[in-house]
Structure 1
């Protein structure tokens, strides 16, 4: 391998590494939103960068409380009997969801990455 070939390969590796690092840390978190659906209808959409508590009430008066803090979303309280949604890990990446079946609440992270995955799959 000649000197110029080695330099070309090194430049390509550095550019590829910069692309993947930039995509992971810069572009992936910019446009992420938390979409809350209740009984199949969009209830609210909030930026993942906002720190909020959101009380979610379905048509039967059952409540869930969504907390978004430090770029992560979680259900902190629910009136459902099994509490699976409360014990679910925090979500922070496009495509992740927390679902409360008894209260018919779905909390999903939406963003640019998810659109890319749909196009590929």
Structure 2
């Protein structure tokens, strides 16, 4: 390997590590989870505090667990249980949806938006 190759590889490694640090440092400590049932807000909970929330949906119930900065649907009495199989959410804009019970769990920033500068009432199409 030539000296220029080593310098180039080192520069890429440093840039990659700096980017990784920037992404992990940019995590929002004030992230919240908003739960809506049939389009009406049922509650807002911080991801920073572990909690178990029982959600009474339309025609059934779900159990949302917040642990280690992530929210996951742990139990649901709907027939397909797709929401229970969904991976935990922790990034702004991610959602878990239980269609049979009309339950939506959405990660929001501390300001209440689901993306930077975006209010929850509007998406990119509605603007």
1:7 aligned residue? none
Structure with bigger helix share is 1
Does structure 1 conserve the Cα–Cα contact (< 8 Å) formed by 2:58 and 2:100?
Answer: no
Distance 2:72 2:42 in 1: 16
Unmatched segments (≥5 aa) in structure 2: 1-13
1:4 aligned residue? none
Distance 1:116 1:98 in 2: 20
Distance 1:38 1:59 in 2: 7
1:57 aligned residue? 56
Unmatched segments (≥5 aa) in structure 1: 1-12
CA RMSD of superposed structures (Å): 2.7
How many residues align structurally?
104
Distance 2:57 2:82 in 1: 17
Deviation per residue, 1:36-92 (Å, 9 max, x gap):
0001011010000110000000254x1000000000100000010000000000101
Deviating above 6 A after TM superposition, structure 1's stretches of 4 or more consecutive aligned residues are none
Give the 5 Å matches for 1:71-82: 71-82=69-80
Q: Secondary structure at the match of 1:116?
A: coil
Give the 5 Å matches for 1:32-51: 32-51=31-50
Distance 2:114 2:40 in 1: 20
TM-score (normalizing by structure 1): 0.73
1:89 aligned residue? 87
